[in-house]
Amino acid sequence: MTDPLDIVIVGGGTAGWMTAAALAATVAGRQARVRLIESDQIGTVGVGEATLPQMKDFNDFVGIQEADMMKATQATFKLGIEFRDWGFTGSSYIHPFGEFGQPMGGVDFIHQWVRARQAGEAQDIETYSYAIQACRQGRFDFPVDDKQEVNSTYAYAYHLDAGLYARYLRGFAEPKGVERIEGRIVDVERDDETGFVTAVKLESGESVGGDYFIDCSGFNSLLFDKTLGVPFEDWSDWLPCDRAVAVPSERVDPMTPYTRSTALEAGWQWRIPLQHRTGNGYVFCSNYISDAEASSRLLENLDSPALADPRVLRFKAGRRACSWQGNCIAVGLSSGFLEPLESTSIYLIQVAIMALTQLFPGRRPDPALVAEFNRLVDYEYDRVRDFLILHYHLNSRDDSALWRRCREMPVPDSLREKMEMFRRRGFVERYRFGLFAPPSWISVYMGQGLLPEGFEPFARNASLATVTDRMRTLAGNIESRVQAMPRHADFVADYCPADLPEAPA
Ligand SMILES: Cc1cc2nc3c(=O)[nH]c(=O)nc-3n(C[C@H](O)[C@H](O)[C@H](O)COP(=O)(O)OP(=O)(O)OC[C@H]3O[C@@H](n4cnc5c(N)ncnc54)[C@H](O)[C@@H]3O)c2cc1C
């Protein structure tokens, strides 16, 4: 029997503990010795509360029980994101985690909708989304499995306290054999010949050696930036926001089953309902507003009293040229950052972890597996980038320089082509894997004012009367089913009530 691999995880934020939990569920103990080093002195980034539906797949893969995790992390459910004032001031649309309508005669719903709309026979596209109607009415229930039923056409994600989630995963990973080492890394040792990292050195003098090092050190990017010098591809020309100010506030009822994102003069504000509090933040571009002004603006906009002082964070949009080099793999903020507009960071952590488990290496890295890992991670980053740019670019706001600049900026060719295909034909590319599915693109295009001029000719195979009749039935069906769902707050209180923190004496 060969010796187990020695894997060292550098950092214990969300990325570090998600990696540890996945390795605990798959290889720790049997095929690998897994150690995680973190420093309480340095701490974690301490934000990150909204997720995507894929997170449930990760938890299921690892073997986490949903209600238990939700109780431990003060979590609520999320069916989508409301975008206020994005296309123009006064507008509101929801990006749902679910379908718009159902295909008719083999033709996607969007084409029938455009056709009916052009004939003056269709209602707003939101009417035909189960997830959106549930959001608008503040309701939640689990989707059913029967694909014939309209309440099978959506998925859900979580709002959670990411710090508590990391703690929860630690409680899961340690009993399964992951060893935690507390300490600050002050030096990294490398092999002269290969350049591979051989050990990290702690302030205490202890040296921790390994076959592989997973860089989960956050914005510090201890291995990828500071040691290996892997170049950072800067995307801030397209995504100019470079700071955020965050502040928690008291819980507000009713508890929305969606995240809210409101466009402001120099960026946008998030609002995320948890069981014990509401998470808030203003993501902004420092060319257009100062830290102090952004903090005051955020505090003015809160819908409940603040529970702490606002905290400013700095970042730059982009990613490293690769996320696996030599015997080091970057997961989380050490590999790149895209602002939290579509809650994609934890998802990108998950992508890297799942790719790593599928391409799990032997004693020496295999160049073919490394190349495939980098390809998988890179294309996910690139697609998320295009989707985020779309939100900024497709606006008709005229109230500030940021929005004018974004509207006029040249966008990547990949995005320009996507927008053109949608405008001409209502066409949205369907990916086999990864983000984002057609309803996501449709919601943002249409929510921000880009409507298709044409539709698939096959849509005419069914008569207009048949199509509009089915659309009416669908809308009625959605309305009555949604009315029967429990209120979101009641569902959470019943399914996963968290212990609320004690009030100060
Ligand atoms: C403003 C903002 C809002 C966000 N909102 C969301 C959101 O809604 N949804 C979402 O999915 N994501 C969000 N994110 C991203 C999310 O916070 C991160 O992706 C996630 O927390 C992972 O961070 P991390 O583990 O990579 O880094 P960190 O949390 O920073 O962890 C880094 C770890 O490395 C350790 N470390 C660093 N240097 C050393 C050293 N020298 N020695 C020892 N240990 C060291 C630290 O102690 C820590 O344990 C947001 C990010 C920002 C900035």
HSE-up of 138 (CA within 13 Å, CB side)? 9
Residue closest via CA to ligand 1's atom 4 equals: 48
CA distance 496 to 382: 36
Give the atom of ligand 1 at the shortest distance from the alpha carbon of 162: 21
Residue closest via CA to ligand 1's atom 24 equals: 218
CA distance 185 to 51: 30
pLDDT at 501: 65
Q: Ligand 1, residues 159, 239, 333: which to mutate, most atoms within 8 A of Cβ?
A: 333
Cβ proximity of 16 and 173 under 8 Å = no
pLDDT tens by residue, 107-148: 999 999 999 999 999 999 999 999 999 999 999 999 999 999
CATH number for the domain whose boundaries are 5-49+161-233+317-382? 3.50.50.60
HSE-up of 284 (CA within 13 Å, CB side)? 25
The two structure tokens encoding residue 269: 């504000």
Catalytic pick among 78, 226, 316, 418? 78
Which residues make up the CATH 3.50.50.60 domain(s) of the chain? 5-49+161-233+317-382
End-to-end CA distance of the chain: 59
CA distance 237 to 216: 26
Give the atom of ligand 1 at the shortest distance from the alpha carbon of 218: 27
CB 312 less than 6 A from any atom of ligand 1: no
Distance 127 CA to ligand 1 centre (A): 38
Give the atom of ligand 1 at the shortest distance from the alpha carbon of 49: 8
Residue closest via CA to ligand 1's atom 52 equals: 47
Tell me the chain's radius of gyration from C-alpha atoms.
Answer: 23
Q: Is 201 a catalytic residue?
A: no
Q: Where are the beta strands (DSSP E) in 183-276?
A: 185-190, 197-202, 207-209, 212-215, 232-234, 243-250, 259-264, 267-273
pLDDT at 433: 81
CA distance 69 to 164: 9
Distance 271 CA to ligand 1 centre (A): 19
Give the atom of ligand 1 at the shortest distance from the alpha carbon of 41: 47
CB 217 less than 6 A from any atom of ligand 1: yes
The two structure tokens encoding residue 91: 């507008």
Q: Which residues of the chain have pLDDT under 50?
A: 505
Q: Give the DSSP letter of residue 85.
A: S
pLDDT at 504: 52
CA distance 9 to 178: 10
Residue 355 CA, distance from chain mean position:
17
The angle at the Cα of 136, spanning 130 to 142, to the nearest 5 degrees, equals 45
Q: Where are the beta strands (DSSP E) in 265-316?
A: 267-273, 277-284, 311-314
Q: What is the DSSP string of 422-486?
A: HHHH------SSSS--HHHHHHHHHHTT---S---GGGGGS-HHHHHHHHHHHHHHHHHHHHTSP
- Beta-carbon count within 10 A of 24 CB: 23
Q: Ligand 1, residues 17, 18, 42, 197: which to mutate, most atoms within 8 A of Cβ?
A: 42
Residue 440: CB partners within 8 Å, gap ≥ 6? Answer: 95, 387
Q: Is the pTM of this model over 0.85?
A: yes
